Amino acid sequence: MNLDGRAVFYSAGRALTLAHISGGPAISAFMFATGIENSIPTIRGGTLRVDQMESCGHYLHWRKDFDLVEEMGIRYLRYGPPLHTTLLGDGRYDWEFADVTFADLRRRDIVPIVDLCHFGVPDWIGNFQNPDFPEIFSRYASAFARRFPWVQVYTPVNEMFICAQFSAKYGWWNEEGTTDQTFVTALKHLVKANVRAMQEILKVRADAIFIQSESSEYFHAENPAAIGPAEIENSKRFLSLDLNYGHRVDSAMYEYLRDSGMTQDEYHFFLGNSLAHHCILGNDYYWTNEHRVSASGATRASGEIFGYCEITRQYYQRYRLPVMHTETNIAEGPNGDEAVNWLWKEWANVLRVRNDGVPTVGFTWYSLTDQMDWDTALREPNMRVHPVGLYDLNREIRAVGRSYQQLIQDWGVVLPTQSVCLAVPIVLPSEHEEPASERQRSDARKLRSVELAADAGGTSS
């Protein structure tokens, strides 16, 4: 179907403009990306904050880090300002660090995929049990979008499911909750914050694109008595994206949500505010994403069994959205080639799922540099280097960095998307003020007004 000379496709019952046929801004055929992690959870009863940008030296070496992104040949960077030092109070912001870093990204013509909330909130908010968090965060997202109107691509809240699980079910971070009630409370607040942020950003930038970065999981029953518990976990893994995309949960999950404190009105908020048609399904995969489930419901890591390709197909079949592999890594081990081998395995999986007909628009090695203390999931401040970066913390390239650099060179010019209808209409920072980009924003504003009118008329899904 064609609308005013643009190709469109349908998702969640609505038309989403994705690509100019002619006369538009540069169209991204495939997004090779990396990230600079801005995790900021608290541990030890909220008395200690774990700040990855600080422990990995980014505050001191941000210019060098951006040099490395360019050296790698990467145009797309998952990046965001530290929430705990930027959001000083409701409606009060300190943009000093964001101003200098985002100005430099714009100068370099690097497209930021802006990560606004990564596993933590400022002390004055408390934690994810706070019901005020979604609206406070939505105002922050709006303020960011107004200050940086050239930014188009966002991950408002990173890994909503993992954040709720680690903070409010496993008892590791932030509120350190361990009940279904605390988990569901954190989850509904995180997802509502994400939805409300998307709504507010679209008021500023109607052609904004949202790339979810969510963990893709699978739970394997280790014996027949574990089939039931495994089925429950395999339904629960979809909860954050079901709510985010307005996808009706199954009856067991609906009962679980209601029994754990979600009201009917809260559930219907998600059904009535789906913005899936503005989204790319970003999914993360690590060797820890698959689990063995016992008859008691206890889980443990199984290692890679199905792999990224099979699990991604499951998520795609559920949501029918374009896919981007938004995170993967593995530690460089004693042989020195462990991360290189994992990179090529993940890349082979991306090509396989793409060749099987899943619209796949990007791949990410996460992160740019080594991380700190992720071997214990940030639960212990050991200041132990986790060697998963394209570069080490001295900013020296690792073997996987050289391999990724070569992969991008080899595949970047020969890997078009399957169809012009599925190219992502990214406006480069340098193109923001060009007439074609303004036409795209103008058309997106008109389309958004039609969507809002349809919602007001009761025709939303």
Q: Identify the weakest region by mean pLDDT among 8-17, 79-88, 165-174, 190-199.
A: 8-17
The whole-angstrom separation of Cα 444 and Cα 8 is: 12
pLDDT of residue 356: 93
| Average pLDDT of span 76-99 | 98
- DSSP run (H or E) holding 276: none
Q: What is the pTM of this model?
A: 0.93
* pLDDT tens for each residue of 424-459: 899 999 999 999 999 999 999 999 999 999 888 765
The whole-angstrom separation of Cα 201 and Cα 402 is: 36
- DSSP run (H or E) holding 397: none
* pLDDT tens for each residue of 356-367: 999 999 999 999
* pLDDT tens for each residue of 402-433: 999 999 999 987 776 556 556 789 999 999 99
- pLDDT-derived band of residue 68, with 50, 70 and 90 as boundaries? very high
Phi–psi pair at 195, nearest 5 degrees: -65, -45
| Average pLDDT of span 138-153 | 98
| Average pLDDT of span 125-146 | 98
pLDDT of residue 424: 86
Q: What is the mean pLDDT of the chain?
A: 92
Residue 165: Cβ-neighbour burial (10 angstroms; 0-12, 13-18, 19+):
buried
The whole-angstrom separation of Cα 209 and Cα 425 is: 9
Residues in the chain, total: 461
Q: Which residue has the higher pLDDT, 87 or 421?
A: 87
| Average pLDDT of span 390-412 | 97
| Average pLDDT of span 283-292 | 97
The whole-angstrom separation of Cα 211 and Cα 280 is: 5
Q: What are the angstrom distances between the C-alpha of 283 and each of 22, 286, 313, 372? A: 31, 10, 11, 22
Q: Which residue has the tokens 């889980």?
A: 299
The whole-angstrom separation of Cα 158 and Cα 211 is: 10
| Average pLDDT of span 224-243 | 98
The whole-angstrom separation of Cα 289 and Cα 294 is: 16
- Reply yes or no on whether the pLDDT at 373 is more than 80: yes
